[in-house]
Structure 1
Amino acid sequence: MTNGSQSVAAPTRGTLQYFKWAFIVTIVGLALGVALGWQMTGTVAGTLGVFFICAVLAVLEISLSFDNAIVNANKLKDMTPAWQRRFLTWGILIAVFGMRIVFPLLIVVIAAKVGPWQAMVMAASQPEEYARIMRDAHLPIAAFGGTFLMMVGLSFFFDHEKDVHWVRWLEQRMQKYATIRGIEVAIVLSTVLVFSHFLDPVASEVFFKSAIWGLLTFLLVEVLGGLLDSSQEMLQAGAKGGLGAFLYLEVLDASFSFDGVIGAFALTQNLFIIAIGLGIGAMYVRSMTIMLVEKGTLTQYRYLEHGAFYAIISLSIIMFLQAFVHIPEVITGLGGATLIGISLWSSIRSNRVAEQVAE
């Protein structure tokens, strides 16, 4: 990390150095998985099974979060050094412990109408019932998270100041209509209405209300972020991306985490194994975020963030579709990774063409 007068944008490390803490957390996490597996089963086979599930969950989290790291880097590059460090320290703690442990417990507290301690006891002694409650809560979670992520994705493309286009024929049209106030909200609400129309009346009401809360959360975070950051600019000229941006990134991470947390129950019903596996993956996302900011990768590969935001929109649609049918997490992860991979390839090809023209 850097001192208070410097940004994390100074490239001073090799690639592997960025993942030092991720490697350390991986070793500690897998060791905890082995200890937990032995304590639970008392057999070598059972211990190896828990070890394997922790490793698979870590890979699942990484594959689902490529786009998360890119979007984080896109926001972080405009934040002040102090707020960059706060997000990369306190923010990651909130992401690992809040979303991977507290969030599933909170769902059970609300859905089962029990206290936090009872929810923790249920996670330890009644994992099947705990997992059932989590699965039953998937519809409102999918509607909330899908709506929030769709607003994030569309807001990137409906920007009249955007001057770099990857899928030119589409993005130029979106930029053209960006001056129409509320166009993203209209598109998202129309999409929500279409999906809710095909659900039964009870599920449709739950889906629609949750989607509205997702939309309101996005708008409130945007408004609150603008108010907080503008007040900070009055106190400190030139300050960018303060508390408002921090809150935005935390809600964004929560929305990205919904799918991984719910999907993890397909592999294990043990909350503590899920926390270990997804926590390891979250540390790699943090390392990727820092590397993208310091190395200026988003500037070097101009279409990379476009691919990430297309992946976000596709993820939001997948979350909506999961109101009707289960979509394996491997498809979700591979879909996002493919879009990002194509955008990276397009960026490299564009750079080569630019170099040839310059010569």
Structure 2
Amino acid sequence: MKFPSTLKKMIKKKLRDSVPSLTLDSSDKELISTIRERTIALNKNNVTRTQAYLDFYTRHPEVHWAFLAHLVSRNAGWNMTDLKGEFIPRLLTGKEQVDFFVFLERGNWLIFQDAYPQLLLFEESKKRGIPLFHLLSFFNVSLFMEPFWQYYWAYKDKSIMTVALIINEQNYIEERVIHNHQYKNTVLDTISFKLQDLFDMNQILFPYYTPIQNQPKVVGDTVHHFSSLNDRIMTGKILYQLLYSVESRYHSILDWAKTHPHTGSRGDYWPHIFHDVKETIPGAAHQPQARPCDPERKSPRIYSPKLMQVWEDWIHSKAETGDWFKDMKVIRHFKNPLKHHKGDIVDNYCETIEKLELAALTKKMFFKRPE
């Protein structure tokens, strides 16, 4: 991706200049208050924020990041409900399940409260016909983002805008979640989290229908090193490429998303394999299948509950203050070459299910669990 010299100058100027003091008129004050209220109301839980991204994208399909965020947020919800699903409760203690949930929920909540005001400011800018991005600082949005929104307003470069939002949100959670001592001690430094790489449990899936299939296919990618900022940004760029590189598939993914409201259950996309009602006999272990993704499987489906069935809304402390943007080195993320990625992930994901089925049945020490 060739980085525009005009934009580079805008970013340097923003980094060099101090934040100007702005005098707000009553209209600006009312807008800021309204955006804050709407963001808080829709940031209630993973289900509400995931739907909010899709609703915004439906209104403004030129903002590619919003649909990408919707799909990634769906995956966060599936990871949250996995913690109360068929297998993970047999491998983690109750405290570990809560720790993992809070880790996932905090990141999902933080990104929304940072990104959604940006989206609403863009929406209001379109409505008024003038850019309002000078107001971003009132939502504690990084200085990094204003030049990109201004550039997007002028040049409509969807790809650069999307990558900028990917970079911003991953940097935004870097200190607040990834390097937060609370989550490092309870999640990121635990054997159970590190072994997710062994299990390849960090898949991000995009379901879609093809004309000849009754059950949706999935494409996606695996995050092998979640604690690595560079890897998370690269994964975001790969997912963006997958989502928009094949137009027919993009429309199929969008159609699927619009016709399948997010519940947090994996039964949303594979109801022949997952169900939000437990089908195994109480106290009995789910029997592993040689081919867990076989559409003709006869065994009970894998329990994958809806989010609202198993997790109450979490009350968050205020977001930590501070701006991650310190220098121009971040521009390298726009220049790093991106290899073509086919998104073939079905075999990998089905293998993950096999591993989890076997681990849950044998209760071997794939995960560290106290006696």
Common fold: TM-score over 0.5: no
Say which structure is richer in strand. 2
Say which structure is richer in helix. 1
- The structure with higher relative contact order (CA 8 Å, sep 6+) is 1
